[in-house]
Chain A
């Protein structure tokens, strides 16, 4: 839905007057859905077989209309066709807004506004897969902690950085579309990272990394991290980097494992 119907130009246009939000299952509320959402589902007459519900609410959060984003429980009913899914969602939104008085919006395209953090890193994760939910970029942010400055301090000479020290970066680099995983997926971090000078005010942090999940099979993502860092005096000012790895995805239906290439671009915030 994220890379399909919600990215469709007609849906983006239709939702211009709206504040767009979502409710999802976080690590804190597994197995529970707030009473307010259950009430919205009930008022909208949504069935439970589709696990995604869309709700058009007025400015006082009162239900105008609720619907599933596809004419069936899964996008399969529209052949996973992005254009058909987008046009279907647009038609459902139009049904809801027909009687609404919507605020006026600017004609020009709204600029892209990415998840951001006051001070930290932003991570763009992509998986090279035929499955659309894997291909659509994940964008996560990680706030800096005071200890990060120490870990990434200017290397007068090459030194080792334990992979565990960069746990906060690796935690969000887990594959999307894998339902039993969330933040804190990795039970163990292995590999070897070093940081070394690469010029008067630059350094390179690199090495092979192993991210081991806490699942029964201890699925391990193995890859390489390479980061270029710029310094002002001894303090890290900015960084750009990439993690390239392989996710050995088990096929529960046919058995076996196939590798999916994972790539994460990492950048410091603010620029």
Chain B
């Protein structure tokens, strides 16, 4: 976060249009409350989740989307 602010400060000082772009970027980047879904301990690949579960002795919560007509990536949100 500190690096992000430092970079934002650096670019704002340069200006030439960069300050306004950084404002728009900040407004467009989702707030933490919108990203609560990523508080889960995600393992995007089911195969890797099984390996981790065995290694860490932990259960798995699997969401399977069987809409076979289209692309549905629950993890990234393109679903």
A residues touching B (Cβ–Cβ < 8 Å)?
A: 1-3, 6-7, 9, 12, 15-27, 30-33, 37, 40-41, 48, 51-61, 64, 69, 93, 97, 100, 102-103, 109-115, 124-126, 133, 136-140, 172, 174, 176-183, 197-202, 204, 206, 226-228, 230, 238, 240-242, 244, 263-267, 271
Contacts and interface: CB of A to CB of B under 8 A. Distances in A.
A17 B59 contact: yes
A54 B28 contact: no
Nearest to A111: B39
Interface of B: 3-4, 7-8, 10-11, 13-18, 21-22, 24-25, 28-30, 32, 34-46, 48-50, 52-54, 56-79
Task: Find the residue from A1, A19, A53, A181 having the highest chain B CB count within 10 A.
Answer: A19
A204 B18 contact: yes
B37 A6 contact: yes
Contacts of B4: 267, 271
Contact of B78 (A15, A33, A176, A240): A176
Task: Find the residue from A21, A124, A180, A199 having the highest chain B CB count within 10 A.
Answer: A21
Given A18-B58, A22-B63, A7 B36 contact: yes
A241 B3 CA distance: 16
Nearest to B65: A24
B46 A22 contact: yes
A228 B18 contact: yes
Contacts, number: 287
22 contacts: A19-B60, A20-B43, A21-B44, A22-B65, A23-B62, A24-B64, A40-B64, A51-B65, A55-B62, A59-B53, A100-B59, A114-B35, A126-B28, A136-B34, A137-B34, A139-B35, A172-B76, A179-B72, A227-B21, A230-B7, A242-B21, A242-B28
A252 B24 CA distance: 33
Nearest to B49: A21
A195 B39 CA distance: 37
Nearest to B45: A21
Contacts of A178: 70
A116 to B, nearest CB: 10
Contact of A23 (B25, B57, B64): B64
B59 A112 contact: no
B67 A51 contact: yes
B14 A64 contact: no
A241 B7 contact: no
A57 B59 contact: yes
